[in-house]
Structure 1
């Protein structure tokens, strides 16, 4: 069943998932697809099977910084569906992939009927908040090099070795100048961790990247395991 490629949907009991199936469909998410604008209405809930959804905080001066990634371990739009359907961030597809999609209205109705479904969505929002809080601390305390390696680990976990990622977007993700990212990318290439060309990064040595990264990615994975009471194999790709 394609929907089971998403970790949250895969955690649902068969009887609960059956209630969702009539309203779930599978779509392709292309690079750059805008899923929500800041303060816009969220009419659909996305459960990715692959790829990465990026949540970005925009500033009045035109700046932006990524606060969290959503992949096959989560969902976008579920908390909005349970409330007033307003997105507080700009949300865009960072890495293309597939997702199960259902309307926000159906999610709200089914969550009211199915406590197990609502509980799963609430748990994921607890995790996503923890991820955002960890990102805020990381941005304030850790070096650009360590933060770059952290994001590469997270992206590798969700999307594999080949990442369609420009240096401009990586700089935006971390709220730094492109020149800073270029310097770090050059260091990582020289160390044999990545290769980079034409807007694509290939992960060559994920364990070495892990050694250079800050502790934040490991902490985020730990939050996921604790919230879902999962072992390592269940907690992430």
Structure 2
């Protein structure tokens, strides 16, 4: 297998925020993995055996309805960990964990992570802070999906990707963006044209380039800023 794009576990900011002694207890059990675009890490009701700490990969947790319709519930990047919080009791995945931007991650078995968390108060507190931030993010996202117009939601989503990707070119298709927002592809195409005509983004085959970030922030709904504030309050060292 090829060497992962980023071979430093501390490229994940949650791991980087750990005290050296806490990180040392976990380091030997972390495994570097590459995550491919659209790779499904867990399907709904799958047994969750490992947690993933993304580096430059970005993963969405989406809810899948009986008719196949999907909508994003949470997003995970270098600021967090996925798989841990949905496996505390039943060890079953809440929904589908799908890679929306390829990259690397650090993987560890939940059994070992629980052992270290129980033994190290610093890690335990960091995960508690992250749990609260993620719950608040999910609460805000659900509210956003219910009441805000698609254009504002689309801007929020692009900005959240931009934060985690740390680059202006985002490898996103209209089809994938429509799945994440829970709308028709034609709706995303219309919104994309509007944002491009306003000079906020540039669209190309298989990608969106952020041109005017400040303009996107002005067009996005209040949810983007609120989610950022929550992360910066609870995890100041992990969110850009």
| TM-score band w.r.t. shorter chain | over 0.9
The question of 1:55 aligning with 2:61 is answered yes
CA contact (8 A) 1:3 1:49 kept: yes
Match of 2:72 in 1: 66
Match of 1:236 in 2: 239
Once the two structures are TM-superposed, the CA of residue 101 in structure 1 deviates from its matched residue by 1.0
| Structure 2 SS opposite 1:42 | coil
Gap runs ≥5 in structure 1? none
Structure 2: how far apart are the matches of 1:11 and 1:157? Answer: 18
Describe how 1:74-85 pairs up with structure 2 within 5 A.
Answer: 74-85=80-91
CA contact (8 A) 1:195 1:201 kept: yes
* Equivalent in 182, 185, 195 of residue 175 of structure 1: 182
Structure 1: how far apart are the matches of 2:85 and 2:70? Answer: 22
Once the two structures are TM-superposed, the CA of residue 85 in structure 1 deviates from its matched residue by 2.1
Once the two structures are TM-superposed, the CA of residue 82 in structure 1 deviates from its matched residue by 4.0
Root-mean-square deviation (CA, aligned residues, Å) is 1.4
| Structure 2 SS opposite 1:54 | strand
Match of 1:35 in 2: 41
Structure 2: how far apart are the matches of 1:80 and 1:55? Answer: 10
Q: Deviations over 1:11-48 (max 9, x none)?
A: 11101110011101211111011111101111111111
* Equivalent in 115, 137, 149 of residue 143 of structure 1: 149
TM-score, length-scaled by structure 1: 0.94
Match of 1:193 in 2: 200
| Structure 2 SS opposite 1:94 | strand
| Structure 2 SS opposite 1:88 | coil
Structure 2: how far apart are the matches of 1:235 and 1:163? Answer: 21
Structure 1: how far apart are the matches of 2:37 and 2:48? Answer: 19
Structure 1: how far apart are the matches of 2:119 and 2:98? Answer: 30
Once the two structures are TM-superposed, the CA of residue 123 in structure 1 deviates from its matched residue by 1.7
CA contact (8 A) 1:55 1:89 kept: yes
CA contact (8 A) 1:82 1:108 kept: no
Once the two structures are TM-superposed, the CA of residue 66 in structure 1 deviates from its matched residue by 0.6
Change (3 A) 1:127 1:207: same
Structure 1: how far apart are the matches of 2:12 and 2:141? Answer: 23
* Equivalent in 207, 212, 219 of residue 219 of structure 2: 212
The question of 1:25 aligning with 2:31 is answered yes
The question of 1:12 aligning with 2:15 is answered no
Structure 2: how far apart are the matches of 1:177 and 1:40? Answer: 28
* Displacement over 4 Å in runs of 4+: none
Once the two structures are TM-superposed, the CA of residue 199 in structure 1 deviates from its matched residue by 1.4
| Structure 2 SS opposite 1:165 | coil
Aligned residues: 233
Describe how 1:87-98 pairs up with structure 2 within 5 A.
Answer: 87-98=93-104
CA contact (8 A) 1:54 1:68 kept: yes
